[in-house]
């Protein structure tokens, strides 16, 4: 993993090919959107992803769709056998964003978001339900 663009978008290199990957099932607050300001807890989500992913070997798991309308690869990201998308939700660094037909981990993701909300973790403590 070579770069974190924001909390839910990373750059990976595979066989000398760079690819931008959008993490499926999660939406972290914005930090680099061309038309939106930096959102509450966006910098923290980006810093978390950078801390855990930068320079690490990750595994990618596809779902039904492989690319979004911006050409980014859509994937679930595994780090050391753990589903990083779910880690973001469980720590309150992302909101659930399951868009059909990509819903392989949707039920688990919902459970993780509800846990973070109940525990008032991350953005659920600082940002409310905005």
Dihedral pair phi/psi, residue 17, rounded to 5°? -105, 125
Closest CA to 43 of 32, 58, 34: 32
Q: What is the pLDDT of residues 67-125, one digit of tens each?
A: 999 999 999 999 999 999 999 999 999 999 999 999 999 999 999 999 999 999 999 99
Question: Can you tell me the mean pLDDT for 16-43?
Answer: 92
CATH code, 17: 2.40.50.90
Beta bridge partners of 75: 23
Residue with tokens 């993490």: 23
R_g (Cα) of the chain, nearest Å = 14
Residue ranges with strand state E in 24-117: 25-27, 59-61, 73-79, 82-83, 95-97
Question: Can you tell me the mean pLDDT for 29-48?
Answer: 90
Domain that holds residue 115: 3-126
Longest dimension (CA), the chain: 43
Q: Is residue 26's pLDDT more than 90?
A: yes
Active site residues: 22, 30, 72
Q: What is the pLDDT of residues 2-15, one digit of tens each?
A: 899 999 999 999 88
Q: The whole model's pTM is what?
A: 0.93
Tell how strand 17-23 and strand 95-97 pair up. Answer: unpaired
Total structural domains in the chain?
A: 1
What is the pLDDT at residue 130?
53
Residues 73, 80 contacting (CB under 8 angstroms): no
Dihedral pair phi/psi, residue 45, rounded to 5°? -65, -45
What is the pLDDT at residue 2?
81
- Residue 92 CA to residue 11 CA, distance in Å, equals 22
Question: Can you tell me the mean pLDDT for 18-29?
Answer: 96
């Amino acid at each position: 993993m070579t770069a974190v663009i924001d909390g839910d978008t990373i750059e990976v290199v595979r066989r000398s090919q760079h690819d931008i990957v959008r993490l499926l099932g999660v939406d972290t607050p914005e930090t680099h959107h061309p038309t939106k300001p930096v959102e509450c807890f966006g910098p923290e989500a980006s810093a978390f992803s950078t801390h855990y992913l930068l320079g690490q070997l990750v595994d990618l798991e596809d779902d039904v769709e492989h690319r979004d309308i911006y050409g980014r690869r859509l994937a679930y990201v595994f780090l050391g056998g753990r589903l990083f998308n779910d880690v973001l939700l469980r720590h309150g660094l992302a909101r659930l964003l399951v868009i059909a037909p990509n819903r392989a981990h949707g039920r688990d993701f919902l459970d993780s978001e509800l846990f973070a909300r109940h525990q008032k973790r991350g953005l659920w403590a600082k940002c409310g339900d905005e």
